[in-house]
Amino acid sequence: MTGDDSARTWTSEAVRLLEADATRSADTHLLVFPLPAEWGIDLYLKDESMHPTGSLKHRLARSLILYGLVNGRIHEGTTLVEASSGSTAVSEAYFARMLGLDLVAVIPRGTSAEKIARIEFYGGRCHLVDDPACMDDEAARLARECGGYYLDQFTLAERATDWRSNNNIAESTFQQLSAERHPVPAWVVVGAGTGGTSATFGRYVRYQRHATRVAVVDPEGSAFYSGWSTGRPDHTTTASSRIEGIGRPRVEPSFVPEVVDTMIPVPDAASLAAIRLLRERTTYWAGGSTGTNLVGAFQLVARMLEAGETGSVVTLLCDGGARYAGTYYDDAWVAAQGFDLAPHLERMDAFLASGVWDEGLPAGRETSTRGSGHDDRAAPPSGPDGAGRAGGPGAVPAIRSGDAR
């Protein structure tokens, strides 16, 4: 066997392994968020936390590595390098180990300890940077110096994922909706980290000639909303997103604004309030980006009700809450960030009771303060052994506890 034949054989086996993983894990569950039956509107969350690596980024990581393989850029022994806020690198480390490759993840120094531990568990190496805006340049530099391959999710996400077939979250979602009373959703709501997911849904609904519209939600400190609303793809910010996995200081090359029908800016405190409400009302324990999605979905449901429309709305449960037990679910951390969750919880409770989304905050309340971020419903009372308090010192949070927000 020649060297070329050997390399081709290795690539063929690598592709087979990735495709086998896709066959095992592509169809994640479509969950129902309970809304009043008389509204005539159904709200679904596609639970991407069910992937082997626990997040939506599992699909992206597999697509990025497959893209590198079929384009002849990843070979046996290639070192993979990525810039990531954490979740993509976790999934890429999983696939790198599957293929016997090394992975170097360039991540912000503030990335949660849980995510760093997961990257290292799968054999990845973490290279920390102080400024998240420098991740891309640093990853490209490391790849050049070691002769490796820069996976470059922020540039390649929209082209690595085939929106017609391979590893397509949109196709899977619509197939799962086919037996529902509103099988073609009025809205799909997603966040933007690379922009790949919104590009996939936006292209798919046009290709299939669906009337579905795509909404992108954006956290504080992110450039996507302002860049989209002003038509400036070069828009940047000096802040960094506190909602891991979404929001970027620049409009990334993979973001395709032409397939986005509307964008909704979401306060970070509202995102964190929403995941606590989600846990209370469904027992599902999710990360902050799911909260951002849920706030946007609630607003669109309210608009549909106001217009007298029925139908369905779909959003994503992007990853599980266990990764954020020491941050988003920890009252001390929430308070240290200056978040006040109470007014957002009140607004969402009122919406779920009335169907009206009130943009005004209760009198005397701020969206962000330097006072306490504590809400009485943020965690269950501690038991005799101190367990049951989500994120508390020494606690073992219950992932499916319905006793707390």
Tens digit of pLDDT for each residue in 323-343? 899 999 999 999 999 999 999
Q: How many CA atoms lie within 13 A of 192 on its CB side?
A: 41
Q: Which pLDDT band holds residue 361 (cuts at 50, 70, 90)?
A: low
What percent of the chain has pLDDT above 70? 87
Supply the pLDDT for residue 394: 32
- Token pair, residue 70, equals 């079929």
Q: Which of 107-116, 233-242, 280-289, 356-365 has the lowest mean pLDDT?
A: 356-365
Supply the pLDDT for residue 398: 33
Supply the pLDDT for residue 168: 85
End-to-end Cα distance, the chain: 60
Supply the pLDDT for residue 164: 75
Question: Which residues does residue 104 pair with via DSSP β-bridges, in sequence order?
Answer: 81, 125
Q: List Cβ neighbours of 62 (8 Å cut-off, separation of 6 or more).
A: 18, 21, 22, 91, 95, 167
Supply the pLDDT for residue 111: 85
Q: Which of 146-160, 162-176, 306-320 has the lowest mean pLDDT?
A: 162-176
CB 246 within 8 A of CB 191: yes
Q: Which of 18-22, 84-88, 309-313 has the lowest mean pLDDT?
A: 84-88
Supply the pLDDT for residue 378: 40
The larger pLDDT score, comparing residue 375 to residue 91, is at: 91
CB 343 within 8 A of CB 216: no
The pTM for the full model equals 0.85
Q: Which long-range contacts (CB under 8 A, 24 or more apart) does 9-17 make?
A: 10/75, 10/76, 11/69, 11/70, 11/72, 11/74, 11/75, 14/69, 14/74, 14/99, 15/66, 15/69, 15/70, 17/98, 17/99
Q: What is the mean pLDDT of the chain?
A: 88
- Token pair, residue 74, equals 């990843």
Supply the pLDDT for residue 167: 56
Residue 221's nearest CA partner among 207, 239, 236 is: 239
Query: Which residue's entry shows tokens 């568990």?
Result: 121
Measured CA to CA in angstroms, residue 35 lies from 298, 342, 353 at distances of 10, 21, 9
Instruction: Give the Cα separation of 324 and 54 in Å (integer).
Output: 13
The larger pLDDT score, comparing residue 195 to residue 115, is at: 195
Instruction: Give the Cα separation of 170 and 207 in Å (integer).
Output: 11
Supply the pLDDT for residue 41: 98
Instruction: Give the Cα separation of 344 and 341 in Å (integer).
Output: 6
DSSP annotation string for 73-89: ---TTPPEEEE-SSHHH
Would you say residue 374 has pLDDT above 50?
A: no
Instruction: Give the Cα separation of 327 and 341 in Å (integer).
Output: 14
Q: Which pLDDT band holds residue 373 (cuts at 50, 70, 90)?
A: very low
The model's pLDDT over 203-262, given as tens digits with 9 standing for 90+, comes to 999 999 999 999 999 999 999 999 999 999 999 998 889 998 899 999 999 999 999 999
Supply the pLDDT for residue 1: 57
